[in-house]
Amino acid sequence: MVLRDLRETDREALAATLRRTDGFRQDDVEVALELIDERLEKGERSEYQFIVAAEGDDLLGYACYGPIPLTESSFDLYWIVVAPRHQRKGVGRALMRRVEESAVRQGGRRVYIDTSSGDAYVDTRAFYTAAGYSEVARFPDFYREGEAKLVYSRDLSAGRG
């Protein structure tokens, strides 16, 4: 597996991966594709940075992240996806580590991730916890009645615990 930058030719394969991923609705996929398109259009001028995990022509997954505007050293992990048939093999962990290394190189001290308290996200939350993230904020009834928005974070200078 290699971890590399986003390429123009990745767009269709990543769109297909997003569509196959349980838990993403059509509008989630559209937002994810907008970020990909912005990066492909603006290149380094885009605030959205990408790391793609690939094995030859096979795209295993990707992460999208970037510095949070108006903060001194905070980064947002906007999106992390591993194709269903490649899940649970360490690809997500490798992407997360690369995101954190990149953030540190750019002066980042904390990474923030938004997620949901919903049952559909139990595995996603387990993945964030395993990666050393913990809940730092909760917005009750944010997505719908009974489904909160959770903000997870990790201090990049601390160990994974």
Ligand X SMILES: CC(C)(COP(=O)(O)OP(=O)(O)OC[C@H]1O[C@@H](n2cnc3c(N)ncnc32)[C@H](O)[C@@H]1OP(=O)(O)O)[C@@H](O)C(=O)NCCC(=O)NCCS
Interaction site with ligand X (CB under 6 A): 21, 23, 79-82, 87-93, 123-124, 126-127, 130
Shortest separation between residue 148's beta carbon and ligand X, angstroms: 15
- Cβ 91 to ligand X, closest distance in Å? 4
Residue nearest to ligand X (CB): 92
How far apart are CB 32 and ligand X at their closest, in Å? Answer: 8
Mapping DSSP to helix (H, G, I), strand (E, B) and coil, where does residue 5 land? coil
Distance CA 148, CA 80 (A): 20
Helix (H), strand (E), coil (C) string for 84-134: HHHCCCCHHHHHHHHHHHHHHHCCCCEEEEEEECCHHHHHHHHHHHHCCCE
Q: Which amino acid is at 123?
A: D
Minimum Å distance from CB 87 to ligand X?
3
List, edge to edge, every strand of the sheet that includes 49-55. Answer: 2-4, 49-55, 58-67, 74-82, 110-116, 147-155, 134-144
For the bound state, the minimum distance from the C-beta of residue 129 to ligand X, rounded and expressed in Å, comes to: 8
Q: Closest CB to ligand X among 2 and 44?
A: 2
60, two tokens: 């295993």
* 110 vs 131 by CB, closer to ligand X: 131
Q: What is the DSSP letter of 9?
A: G
